[in-house]
Amino acid sequence: MADRIHINPGRAEDNAGKIESAASYLAVVALTPQDTGTTLPANAKSKEAYEKSQARIADLGRMLDQEVRNIRGLKVSFCEFDEMMGRLTQRGSRYPVIRGSA
């Protein structure tokens, strides 16, 4: 199975960087001061909906940041696994080899 796993650390890091870059755009944008005061119930409700949507956008940004950490952690883990498997195969078979006499 280990011979079927192919990890490209450069590509994994590149993808993590792209996700990290996208996540940086997902931040809360507050309403301007003239948008915060209202006497109309409809405006108050739209303000509340806007604030909720901004909170969800910020949550998505935090989740993407976590995914970036996960991708980078998996990249390191797979590289370590690959090195470990390489060391195991250098040691030869774990089963004793029995040869018959000629």
102 has a pLDDT exceeding 70: no
pLDDT tier at 1, thresholds 50, 70, 90: very low
Residue 26 near residue 57 (C-beta atoms within 8 A): yes
pLDDT tier at 3, thresholds 50, 70, 90: low
Give tens-digit pLDDT for 22-69: 888 888 887 776 655 666 677 778 888 988 999 999 999 999 999 999
Among 50, 17, 16, 44, smallest CA distance to 31 is for 50
- The pLDDT of residue 29: 82
* CA–CA distance, 70 with 5 (Å, rounded to integer): 18
What's the predicted TM-score (pTM) here?
Answer: 0.61
* CA–CA distance, 102 with 88 (Å, rounded to integer): 31
- The pLDDT of residue 55: 92
Among 74, 72, 77, smallest CA distance to 20 is for 72
Among 13, 14, 15, 25, smallest CA distance to 61 is for 25
Burial of 37 per CB tally in 10 Å (0-12, 13-18, 19+): exposed
Give the mean pLDDT of 16-20: 90
